[in-house]
A and B are shown apart, each in its own frame.
Chain A
Amino acid sequence: MFGSITAIGMGLAVIGAGIGIGQIGGKAMEAIARQPEAVGDIRANMILMAALVEGAALIAIVIAFLSNNP
C-alpha cells in the first residue's frame, strides 16, 4: 500500500520542517525590523538556513517513501 503510513511519515517530517522554517522566518523578520540596513544579508542567510532545514525534511520524506515501498 502506498499513501497511508507514508502520508503520516511525510506529515510528521513536514511538521518539523515547518516549525524550523517558521522559526527562521520569524527571527529573520525580527532581525530585519531591528536592523533594516542589513536586510540583504539577513535574507540570503534566511534562505540558506531554510534550504538546510528543508533538506532534512526532504530526506525524511524520501525515507518515508522508501520504507513503505511495497
Chain B
Amino acid sequence: MIFLADFTVIVPDFGLLFWTFLIFLLFWFTIGKFAFRPIAEALKQREHDIQDSLDQAKKARQDMANLKAENEELLAQAREERSKILKEAKEVRDRIVAEAKDKAKIEAQKIVADAKEQIEHQKMAAIIELKNQVGAMSLNIAEKVIRKELAGNAKQEAFVNELVGEIKLN
C-alpha cells in the first residue's frame, strides 16, 4: 500500500526550503548582478555598435555618391574651364601674331624708308663729291692743258688724249 506520506517530494521540508532560498538568492545576486547584467550590457553595446556600423556604412555610401556627383561636376567645370582657357589663349595668340605682323610691317617699312633715305643721302653726297672732284679734275686738266699749249700742237693733242684716258669715272 502506498501512503501519501511516502511521496516525500510533495511535502516541503524546512531544510530544503531554507537552502533553496539561500542558494537562489545567491544565484540571483552573484550571477544575476555580476554576469547576466554585464552580458546584457555587452549584447546591447554590440547591438549598438552593429547599428552604428551599419549607419556609418550607409553614410559612407551616401558620401561616396555625393563625392562622385561632385567630382563629375568638378570635372565638367574643369573641362569647360579648359576649353575657355584654350579659346582665350588662341585669341591672345592670334592677337599677338597679328600685332607682331603689323609691327614688323611698320618696322620693315620704316627700315626700308630709312634705307632709301640713307641711299638718297649717300647718293647726294656722292654726287656732290663727284661734282667736287670733277670740278677739281677739270681745273687740274685745264691747268695742265694750258701749260702744254705752250709746248706744241701735236704734243698737246697727245697729251689731252692721255689725260682723257686717265680720267675714270669713279
Contact = CB atoms under 8 A, between A and B. Distances in A.
B2 interface: yes
A17 B1 CA distance: 29
Nearest to B6: A2
Interface residues of B, number: 5
User: Which of A2, A65, A70 has most B Cβ within 10 Å?
Assistant: A2
A69 interface: yes
Nearest to A3: B2
Query: Interface residues of A: mostly helix, strand, loop or mixed?
Result: loop
Interface in A56-70: 65, 69-70
Interface string B1-24: 111100000100000000000000
Interface in B23-74: none
Nearest to A66: B4
A2 B1 CA distance: 8
Nearest to B3: A2
Contacts of B3: 2, 70
A36 B60 CA distance: 37
B150 to A, nearest CB: 157
Contacts of B1: 2
User: Which of B1, B2, B4 has most A Cβ within 10 Å?
Assistant: B4
A56 to B, nearest CB: 19
A65 B11 CA distance: 13
User: Which 6 residue pairs are nearest across A and B when measured between Cβ atoms?
Assistant: A2-B4, A2-B2, A69-B4, A2-B3, A3-B2, A65-B4
Interface of A: 2-3, 65, 69-70
Interface of B: 1-4, 10
Given A2-B3, A2-B4, A65-B10, 7 more contacts: A2-B1, A2-B2, A3-B2, A65-B4, A69-B4, A70-B3, A70-B4
